[in-house]
Chains A and B, each alone.
Chain A
Amino acid sequence: MNIIELAGVTKEYPGGVAALRGVDLAVAQGELTAIVGPSGSGKSTLLHMIGTLDRPTAGTVRIAGHDVAALSDRELSALRARHIGFVFQQFHLADGVSALDNVADGLLYAGAGLRERRERAARALDRVGLGGRVRHRPNQLSGGERQRVAVARAVVGEPDLVLADEPTGNLDSAAGAEVMELLGGLHRSGTTVAIITHDPEVAALAPRRVRVRDGLIVDGAR
């Protein structure tokens, strides 16, 4: 079954920029996909469509079987809360909040109580190798550790789909390799993972590559 299905997706921003110009894309459950392409080609826009953070100007987006156009904003929020985890280039961690509570916030909108959120967060931090950094604040962590906290937050709710937008963009190669290893491990345990990158080495790790240029998928659309 395809967890991601895009058909004829177009996205025009106000001012006439067409970031996507009729994209078709299908990703099956459990795949690990690298989305590559030059800067400004529309990769992030594509990820926003997949992540239901924005709606297309034209075309259809189906995520986990739901037609995004038919869902209200509330339903899209619920879809993100249950099925999708995001990892961003800038980590987006809350300063002054412990790693544990940053990760626990990943479950805040899924309806779990505080105790359960913290228990699961502690386990997720263990999984990313940060079991000993639970009480640390983001400013007490290295860049690689911060991104691992962000990965733990993305996966703490055990989503079907993890979307990462240049997760290694702000990291040195060693830290980047660790984060990629984590995402690869997720894939091996059955989660569907899509990673935007323009690092060819990173892309080479993925079994499947989707190449984007000028708002079109030029290779790997299937």
Chain B
Amino acid sequence: MSAPGLTPARLGGRDVVRVGFGGLRARPARAVLSALGIAIGIATMVAVIGISSSSKEELLRRIDRLGTNLLTVTPGDTLFGEGAELPASAPAMVARIGPVTAVGATGATDATVRRTDRIPKEVTGGIAVQAATPELLRTLDATVRSGGWLNAGTARHPGVVLGSEAARRLGFDRAGGRVWLGGRWFTVLGVLDPAGLAPEIDRSALVGWEAARRHLGFGGRPTTVYERSADASVAAVRDVLARTVNPENPEEVQVSRPSDALEARAAAAGAFTGLLLGLGAVALLVGGVGVANTMVISVLERRREIGLRRSLGATRGQVRVQFLAESLLLSAFGGVAGVLLGTAVTVGFTLYRGWPPVVPGWALGGALAATLAIGAVAGLYPAMRAARLPPTTALATV
């Protein structure tokens, strides 16, 4: 039943944006303030996601650097619940497994280490004195910060290499000098860098295998065997390790992969804290309410403009679209500002921490989508009110 020739002309997308933008430009301070709420909410969420993703990326890169092919063998429990022991032959047996490329071992001793003999025996500083095989350094891919590593010559003499943390606690920042260890003076031969995958080494004072037997009453049984193999063979090696080390009682042997712990930490770091995200969501919600409020006021103030546009031939739908566009633009400005701000915060924070800055694309897409959804929801009611206003009422507003 439509009358011939009386179809309203379409309002093109560019004109919709122009009209919506014009409405905002007429009151710039108000537009900026109400977009600010959205910006803060989006910035919070982008920064939370960005920082946790960057921290995850940092851990993943560290895992890449350290490698995932290091396995450790430690004694488990016997059937009777007592602590089991590894056979003295364990390192040699592990070395015989085909794909294994390096084997090192440590053996715990009862000795303590102190700066001088005048410090009481009980003050150990949490430092473990351990016997170490020469191959340990290469197996762990660890590096010496100062001095040297135990070698065949020094392994029998009373010398000690300090893990990074042990050195710090004993007050050494380089090799040289002596420590009181197991009731005699030991020369500090070297200080290690942090060992990455084996933090227990950082807190150890390492003594040669033979020296430990001779001077510290060490029985020669290893307490941890470290081995590396080609990446492709890690699973196969893992399967045979326990039986190789202790053919009679393989169940008394514990095998683990230190990089697994780092990977778990990376996963945890990537799972950003819900609390902070919730905070961002609340800020976003408040921002959305601010936009809705601005739009409601805007419609009340601009009744005459609405009346005029109706008299110029705007349909209800076109009035509705105008105010929706205004609301969408308003929150889009806030969203873009928020994304920039959140990215800047992420980059600043990660540069400060020395992490690789990562802001995932999905976070940016999500921010944009959230922004548009908020703009649409906030603008819907005001836009409908504007569209429902009868032209004569709108024009009669003083």
Contact = CB atoms under 8 A, between A and B. Distances in A.
Interface of A: 48, 51, 53-54, 66, 70-75, 77-82, 84, 86, 88, 90, 92, 94-97, 105-106, 108-111, 113-114, 153
A48 B392 contact: yes
B260 interface: no
B6 A105 contact: no
A77 B315 contact: yes
A53 B3 contact: no
Contacts, number: 101
B7 to A, nearest CB: 6
B217 interface: no
Nearest to A45: B392
A80 B1 contact: no
Question: Closest 4 interchain pairs by CB?
Answer: A81-B313, A111-B9, A109-B313, A75-B6
Contacts of A111: 9-10
B233 interface: no
Given A54-B391, A79-B313, A81-B314, 18 more contacts: A53-B310, A53-B395, A54-B390, A54-B392, A66-B6, A73-B315, A74-B316, A75-B6, A78-B9, A80-B310, A80-B311, A86-B311, A88-B395, A92-B395, A108-B15, A108-B314, A109-B8, A109-B9
A70 B3 CA distance: 8
A110 B3 contact: no
14 contacts: A54-B390, A66-B6, A74-B7, A74-B8, A75-B7, A78-B8, A80-B311, A81-B312, A92-B307, A94-B305, A106-B312, A109-B9, A109-B11, A113-B12
B311 A72 contact: no
B313 to A, nearest CB: 2
Interface stretch (B18-26, B78-86, B102-110, B201-209): B18-26
Contact of B304 (A72, A73, A81, A92): A92
Nearest to A53: B391
Contacts of B314: 77, 81, 108-109
A75 B3 contact: yes
Given A97-B22, A108-B15, A82 B3 contact: no
A75 B18 CA distance: 24
Could you say which interface size class chain B belongs to? 35 or more
A82 B3 CA distance: 14
Contacts of B308: 88, 92
Interface string B385-398: 00000111001000
A109 B318 contact: yes
Given A70-B1, A78-B6, A96-B26, A108 B391 contact: no
B365 interface: no
Contacts of B8: 74-75, 77-78, 81, 109
Contacts of B312: 80-81, 86, 105-106, 108-109, 153
A146 B22 CA distance: 20
A177 B316 CA distance: 36
Interface in B23-58: 25-26
A96 B305 CA distance: 13
B14 interface: yes
Contacts of A53: 310-311, 391-392, 395
A24 B312 CA distance: 26
A48 B307 CA distance: 12
A66 B2 CA distance: 11
A140 to B, nearest CB: 16
Contact of A71 (B3, B309, B390): B3
A150 B256 CA distance: 84
A78 B313 contact: yes
Nearest to A117: B15
Interface string B139-153: 000000000000000
Contacts of A54: 390-392
Contacts of B395: 53, 88, 92
Contacts of A90: 304
B317 interface: yes
B304 A80 contact: no
Interface in B287-315: 304-305, 307-315
B6 A108 contact: no
A75 B2 contact: yes
Nearest to B318: A109
Nearest to A165: B395
A70 B7 CA distance: 14
A17 to B, nearest CB: 13
